[in-house]
A = this chain, B = another copy of it.
Amino acid sequence: MQSYQEMSREELLKEKESLEQQYKEICKKGLKLDMSRGKPSKEQLELSMPMMDVLTSKTPLVSRAGTDIRNYGVIDGITEGQEFIASLVGLGPEAYDNVIVYGNASLNIMYDCIARSMLFGVNGSTPWCKLDKVKWLCPVPGYDRHFAITECFGIEMINVPLYEDGPDMDMVEKLVSEDDSIKGIWCVPKYSNPMGTSYSDETVRRLARLKPAAEDFRIYWDNAYCVHDLYEDKADQILEILGECEKAGNPNLPIEFCSTSKITFSGAGVSGLITSLENKADILKRLTIQTIGFDKINQLRHVKFLKDIDGVKAHMAKHAAIIRPKFEMILDRFEEELKGLGAGSWIRPNGGYFITFKANEGCAKNIVAKAKEAGVVLTGAGAPYPYKKDPKDSVIRIAPTLPPMEELKEACEVFIVCAKLASVEKLLEA
C-alpha cells in the first residue's frame, strides 16, 4: 500500500475527493453512535444477573465472623470481602488486613485519598492545602477522570511519557528525587487506560525503589483492569506492587485501588483499597469519623456470587468472549484499511477497555469533530491528557465495549474514513 506521505499533491487531492464523497454518504445515514466511554454493554451486564439471586430473604445475612451484616459497623469490610479484594490484585487471603472494602466506586476512594491528604496530610505530614505548591506525575496518555481529580484540587500535573513498558522511569526517578512538592503519580499498571499496555517488571521494580524527596509521596496504583484479559493464553502479568515496595524498603509507598465495576455491575459493584498497615491506620483515623461503614450486604453478595479468584477468572472469560470480537473487528479493520497508509498507528492490547489510536500530529481534533458530524461520538481529543491538552493533538481513545457489534462496525467505518480524510487534509495543508 502506498502511504499518504509518499503520494504526490495530485494523488492526495484525488484521494481527498474520493474520501469526501465517502464521508458525505456516511453523513447521509444519520447515525447516532457512541464510542466515547468505557462502559460495559448490556450483554456483559446480563452475565451478572444471577448475582441478584444469591441473597434472598432466606439467606442468613451474617458474615463468617458472625457479624450481622445488616447492621452498622465493620469499617474496613467483612473479612471475606477483604480476602476477595486482596485476591483480585494478586495477593493471598492472608493480606486481607491490608484491605479496606468501600462502596461502589474506586474513583471515589481515590478522590477521598487526595481530599484527605489535602486536609490532613499523610501519616502526619503537613496538610497539602497548607503548601504553596503540590504537583503530581501523570503518565500520558492516561485516564481523564484521574486528571480531573488532581485538577480540581489545584494540583499541578506534570506529563510523563508512557511507553509500552510503563512511564519514562528516568524522568520519574529524577523528578521525584529532586522535587518534594511532587506528592504522587497516577498509575494504571495493567492494560492502562487508554493505551492497553502493561508495566514491565523492571518498571514496577524501579517504581518500588523510588527515593522520593517528599516523605508523603504516594504511588496511586489504579489496578482497574487487574483481571480484564481478552485472551487466556496471552494475558499480561504485572508484578504485585505491595510486595515489591516492601522488598525495596518502601512499604508505605503504594496505595492500590480496584473494583468490580467492570466485573459485575458498573454502578453497583464493590471497590477496595489495599495498602500498608501503617497507611491503613492513618486512613482509618479519618474514615471512622467520615462513615460508620460501607454496604456489607453487597460485599457478601459479591463474594457469594464470584466466590474466589478462580470464579472471577471464569466470569471474566465470559466478558472476554463478548468484547474480544469487538476489539478484533476494529483492529482487523484498522489493519486492512490503515496499515502502511501513514494515517496513524495503534496497539493491539491483550486486555482492558480501550484501543488507542495515534493519529498523525495535529489530526486528532479534526478526526473527532468529523466523526461527531457524522453521528459518531468519540472521547474528546485531548481527554487522555492533563488539562485536556494533547501537545501533539494526536491521541484518540476508542471504547469498543458499549455499542452492539453492528453499530460498532458502522462506527468503525466512520472512524476510518475520518482518520484518512483528516490525514490527507493535514498533508495538503503543508
Contacts and interface: CB of A to CB of B under 8 A. Distances in A.
A107 B71 contact: no
Chain A interface size band reads 35 or more
Nearest to A38: B72
Contact of A268 (B107, B152, B291, B298): B298
A119 B39 CA distance: 31
Contacts of A245: none
B39 A50 contact: no
Contacts of A295: 103-104, 267-268, 295, 298
Interface string A60-101: 010000001111111000000000000000000000000000
Contact of A72 (B37, B103, B286): B37
Interface string A137-154: 000000001001100110
A108 interface: yes
Given A129-B119, A268-B296, A293-B105, A57 B53 contact: yes
Interface in A284-329: 286, 289-298
B268 A72 contact: no
A111 B268 contact: no
A107 B286 contact: no
Contact of A108 (B52, B261, B291): B291
Nearest to A45: B70
Contact of A289 (B59, B111, B127, B292): B111
Contacts of A298: 268, 295, 298
Q: How many copies does the complex hold?
A: 2
Given A45-B70, A57-B50, A119-B119, A268 B289 contact: no
Given A104-B103, A119-B129, A295-B298, A52 B55 contact: yes
Given A55-B52, A57-B50, A115-B119, A265 B105 contact: no
Residue from the set A48, A69, A74, A119 with the largest chain B CB neighbour count within 10 Å:
A119
A281 interface: no
A354 B174 CA distance: 59
Nearest to A42: B68
Contacts of A50: 57
A118 interface: yes
A40 interface: yes
Interface of A: 37, 39-40, 42, 45, 48-53, 55-57, 59, 61, 68-74, 103-105, 107-108, 111-112, 115, 118-119, 127, 129-130, 145, 148-149, 152-153, 261, 265-268, 286, 289-298
Given A104-B295, A119-B153, 10 more contacts: A52-B57, A69-B268, A71-B265, A105-B291, A118-B119, A127-B129, A129-B129, A149-B289, A152-B289, A267-B292
